[in-house]
Structure 1
């Protein structure tokens, strides 16, 4: 297991778009952004092989990384800005102040931590990952009581002769995983090209900010989220200490295993319809995780209500699914995800056909969301989410295979590992495409040590069952 030795900070600086390239801009929050006001930061880490010295890293890689980030922020400028929180009842909003706002950028060196052990799939103390994550600066509060919260911080850490970690911490209020992935791919493309003139490069399309005013709240959806935020607002910026006695592990299912699981589920489920990779993998992991979490408590309390319902929260990208006069572009900058709650009775989820019940329920929920008018259903989202929050084991999904985090290349080759760290705070399952296996899926889990051992056993038993 990797040692808990923090890296040495070499440099702390601030990166912003070149003065005059982005005018001072204010962006309103939409009803898609408001739910994230009370939730933890989004935190992620990208690992890259780099068998070079610290001196070469500082001379050849870091200057290019900074310059390309500055150019990238000309298009993704909210990440360099602030979340402005006026006193109630005025609503929070995003603001970028030209020549004043910037993104915290930390350069560090790790000597005592083994890079290979840090990026391992095997269970590791989750606190070791926090050493390569930046901390967002604290909010500034004006004499008028206006909070100004930084939105993003980056940290690049070298492990001499072994690798590099690029760690990110940001408030989820500003954007979802689709926008963050867009930002990272744009920055990656510029860095790989040594920050040449963007006009001469084949880059991803820039983000679009101008359509926020098109996104109308269909039924005061944001109001409840704002009320909760105002009642909970403590002036903190969402940072948290790494939990003790918690492990992080990554499990991989190969494309061949997933195909066998899909065939097994299709043959035995009630509707006999083909299932997607996302649905069947998520169903399998959800059932395995719930079995892990209830195992001890249910053997000690056999009289527990067998009609208990477990809930899973999934998200659907709404960018192409909102019925406005003009469509929301796929490159829209912000949050644009609709929450969907999958509900299955405990008796069904933990029974012999639990995976089939979960798969049918997830597939039905996804189909229902994709076929419905999402704007009309939006006023009911809060009721579903509250039901999910109040349940015994609220599980949610972070990431998605289609985000393509392993497609990134800063000129060092694709990542040798990615981690979504913030799953430690909310009982989430991290899902991404596999870095090594064609059509495979990676699953990130954070659990206490004994539960992680149990989850591993249950998962492997489940794989043997459908591979027979």
Structure 2
């Protein structure tokens, strides 16, 4: 399996099944949430399925299956049409303006790749580090959001294993966050399963109407004359990644422990699990007591804004919140103390904070650079969510056996959260370390392993 390599067999571009309405052809202007992420890499997430067992009547046909995927994807793009577009930039000299927007009718559509690999489902799920071949299950490695001017905003790669199918999506992070990506995947699966019964409607149509701060122009002019003034590219640092499973029982016990220690009922299950991870990662790093460490959480602003945005709002309305502490305090005060720091960071991120942050950004627009965001080597960064309905996306193959991600936006201290396959509040956690020693140490960390055992 170590020598297995992915072979691309074919690729094409998929457009919406029907012509766009005049309204859908209009440019879509980005919000400050999205424009600030022009340097962020594409998001790469996907699902691993077992192939259907051969029946007496009919064997699984990959050709027919790919045809069904392409047809249903085209129908899905009638609703999520912006994913088939491209980014565009409009420059004006008098007065000076530099506007980046999404053109729904520009570009060839969504890229669709079929590939094969001589490996099995059990190879991918083997204990230990995630096999490197998984990174080849995704397209658009190294692409950043700004590359959406020349690259597809979404690329789907279907990789056929010996006994499985992996469906991986690489999506421009300006266009969709995790909530929006899994919304799209769920709609695609819904249309795929409906086959001849599909009549043009879906259960959760996306809301494609960018949020605009009251009293402000929806068209934002950036203080640049050329993209070289803000673009930054960097190589993906070497790292290893490994999965750990928290059963619903272990999650419940962690939540109860955290709340009991801090004499509260406000700490959520997710905050308790992340607090454990923050403590364990900090412990294996052996930081001096006086060293400051932070735990950064990606948080959706949909329900933070008043009035709240729909859960079906399509875009990338996210911010980063963080809990901070010295390594000494984090170790000395226990799980509940750490979890409440994260709770406070989340609960304090309210409508006022969001609006003030947007106003501040509009006064001085900043395009984040990864080198600045990762300058602090003592942080833990948590992405994705166990609340995403990943396993509801079946594509005619039943429930996926696992969810996996690519190598983009990862590095030392990156943690990616997934729902557990069995549901019930269980969680899967992917931890990335640059150091093999740190990976070995966390598997010996007493607090961490005790939580996994329950």
The TM-score normalised by the length of structure 2 is 0.84
Pair 1:342-2:334 in alignment: no
8 A contact 2:415–2:431 mirrored in 1: yes
Say which is worse superposed, 308-317 or 149-158, in terms of deviation: 308-317
Alignment counterpart, residue 155 of structure 2, candidates 115, 130, 153? 153
How far has the Cα of 1:225 moved from its partner? 9.7
Check if 1:117 corresponds to 2:119. Answer: no
Offset of 1:52 from its aligned partner? 5.5
Shift of 1:170: 1.8
Matches within 5 A, 1:12-27: 12-18=11-17, 20-23=19-22, 24-27=25-28
Preserved CA contact (<8 Å) 1:311 1:391? no
Measure, in 2, the Cα distance between the counterparts of 1:466 and 1:251.
8
Instruction: Give the whole-Å Cα distance in 2 for the aligned partners of 1:249 and 1:169.
Output: 21
Q: Name the structure 1 match of 2:210.
A: 212
Aligned residues of 1:124 and 1:247 also touching (Cα < 8 A): yes
| 2:38 alignment partner in structure 1 | 37
Aligned residues: 434
Matched, 1:418 2:403: yes
Q: Deviations over 1:252-294 (max 9, x none)?
A: 111111222222222222x4334210110110011111222x2
From the superposition, tell whether residues 45 and 466 of structure 1 become closer, same or farther in structure 2 (CA, over 3 Å).
Answer: closer
Shift in CA distance, 215/174, structure 1 to aligned 2, threshold 3 Å: farther
Give, in whole Å, the separation in 1 of the partners of 2:46 and 2:347: 32
Structure 1 residue 42 displacement after superposition: 0.6
Structure 2 equivalent of residue 450 of structure 1: 437
Shift of 1:180: 0.6
Alignment TM-score, normalising by the size of structure 1: 0.82
* Distance (Å, rounded) in 2 between the aligned partners of 1:358 and 1:49: 39
Taking a change above 3 Å as real, the CA distance of residues 147 and 308 of structure 1, as seen in their structure-2 partners, is: same
Aligned to 2:113: 106
Match of 1:403 in 2: 388
Gaps of 5+ in 1: 299-303
Q: Please report how far the alpha carbon of residue 425 of structure 1 lies from its aligned counterpart in structure 2 after TM superposition.
A: 4.1
Superposed counterparts of 1:262-411, under 5 Å = 262-269=255-262, 271-292=263-284, 294-295=285-286, 298=287, 306-323=289-306, 327-349=308-330, 351-370=331-350, 372=352, 374-379=354-359, 389-411=374-396
Tell me how large the CA RMSD over aligned residues is: 3.5
Q: 1:198 and 1:36, CA in 2 relative to 1: closer, same or farther beyond 3 A?
A: farther
Distance across 1 between alignment mates of 2:3 and 2:40 = 27
Is this contact kept in 2: 1:312–1:388, CA < 8 A? no
Q: Give the alignment partner of residue 64 of structure 1, picking from 62, 68, 76.
A: 68
What per-residue deviation string (whole Å, max 9, x for no partner) do you get for residues 179-201 of structure 1?
111100000111112264334x7
Aligned residue for 1:206, secondary structure, equals coil
Cα shift at 1:426: 6.8
Which residue number corresponds to residue 414 of structure 2? 428
Write the distance in 2 (CA, Å) between the matches of 1:110 and 1:391. Answer: 38
The answer to whether the Cα contact below 8 Å between 1:249 and 1:444 also exists between their aligned partners in 2 is: yes
1:301 equivalent in structure 2: none
In structure 2, relative to structure 1, the CA distance for the partners of 1:290 and 1:227 (3 Å cut) is farther
The answer on whether the counterparts of 2:280 and 2:447 sit within 8 Å (CA) in structure 1 is: no
Q: Which has the higher helix share?
A: 1
CA distance in 2, matches of 1:227, 1:275: 47
Q: Which runs of 5+ in 2 are unaligned?
A: none
**Equivalent position of 1:47 in the other structure:** 48
